[in-house]
Amino acid sequence: MERPSRQRQRSQETEQEADESVDCPECGSDNIVTDADQGELVCDDCGLVIDERQIDRGPEWRAFNHSERQSKSRVGAPITETMHDRGLTTTIDWKDKDAYGRSLSSEKRSQMHRLRKWQERIRTKDAGERNLQFALSEIDRMASALGVPRSVREVASVIYRRALNEDLIRGRSIEGVATAALYAACRQEGIPRSLDEVAEVSRVPQKEIGRTYRYISQELGLELKPVDPKQFVPRFASALELSEEVQAKATEIIDVSAEQGLLSGKSPTGFAAAAIYAASLLCNEKKTQREVADVAQVTEVTIRNRYQEQIEAMGFR
């Protein structure tokens, strides 16, 4: 009988040499468990203690939840592409406190200030790394303003690094390539952000962003599908405080219109805005064209034109 106080971990015995299996010398069973509390290797069938006083290779501290494990962990953050050095260099904290939380003396504070200053200087060894650091910080700033997830920032950083390795940045602004990489990452990850929205948080004109985006996507062979207007529907409807019924109707309108070929060559944001406007009328949750246009960042004329096409496609007059 296994005592209830013991916490046994059922696992393959990795303390032995590779590919060597451990069998019970008494009954020949290979059902061997490790009792971590007692440091013993025990046969689970007959109860024979095969080995004792094993070395515990786990941590010497105990943790009972995720936050405790994180606070006692001795490993650093994972490697990230969003930093020019991938987060592998040393960072000196700005708290001016020692390991026990006590404030440093004035002499030590000035010494730490000098160390931090030189640490920041030596993190970038040349102009190329400084430019990369600036580009990645721009991507991070714009991604924060757009509210996109961390995965998009990682993908954008990888795209920018690829463009840098292929020497595609020569003759173009760093901000322009960084913005184009972020827009491409949003497209690749299926995050609905229009070119107008990306241009709003960028420091370069929209025309330059579009031109740079087309260039790097072609040169790097990025496989980017056309933007689906349905991706914009939940966000626009939420901003307009519309119900789920309106969202479902707008999605239906887009599907029917797309089947008839009306989507080709049209702006996805304008198409989604018109579908939401039409759906709000059909579901008696009317919103004005100006309200929808402000949320979708398109003109009222665009909404009117797409609205007429979609209503005809749905068979309404």
Q: What is the DSSP code (8-state) at residue 231?
A: G
pLDDT at 7: 42
For the stretch 81-115, pLDDT in tens is: 888 877 777 777 788 888 788 888 888 889 989 98
Percent of the chain with pLDDT over 70: 90
pTM over 0.85: no
181 in Cβ contact with 281 (< 8 Å): no
Q: Can you tell me the distance from the alpha carbon of 54 to that of 139, in angstroms, rounded to the nearest whole number?
A: 50
Give the model's pLDDT for residue 20. Answer: 47
Question: Does 275 have pLDDT greater than 50?
Answer: yes
Alpha helices in the chain (DSSP H): 66-72, 106-122, 127-146, 150-165, 174-189, 195-201, 206-219, 233-239, 244-259, 268-282, 289-296, 300-314
- Where do we find the tokens 């995965």? 151
CB atoms within 10 A of CB 138: 21
Q: What is the pLDDT of residue 58?
A: 66
183-222 pLDDT tens trace:
999 999 888 888 888 999 999 999 999 999 999 999 998 8
Please compute the mean of the pLDDT values over residues 50-74 and round it to a whole number.
72
Q: Name residues whose C-beta falls within 8 Å of residue 135's C-beta, 6 or more positions apart in sequence.
A: 160, 174, 175, 177, 178
Closest CA to 298 of 261, 277, 253, 267: 267
Q: Residue 19: is its pLDDT beyond 50? A: no
pLDDT one-digit tens code per residue, 141-174:
999 999 999 999 999 999 999 999 999 998 899 9
27 is in an annotated binding site: yes
Task: Flag whether pLDDT at 73 surpasses 70.
Answer: no
Q: How confident is the model at residue 129 (pLDDT cuts 50, 70, 90)?
A: confident
Q: Which residue has the higher pLDDT, 22 or 159?
A: 159
Whether the CB-CB separation of 181 and 159 falls below 8 Å is answered with yes
Would the annotation count 46 as a binding residue?
Answer: yes
In this predicted structure, what is the pLDDT of residue 3? 43
pLDDT of 84 reads: 80
Return the higher-pLDDT residue of 58 and 304: 304
Nearest alpha-carbon partner for 209 in 201, 272, 20: 201
Strand partners, 8: 35
**283 belongs to an annotated ligand binding site:** no
- Three-state secondary structure call for residue 51: strand
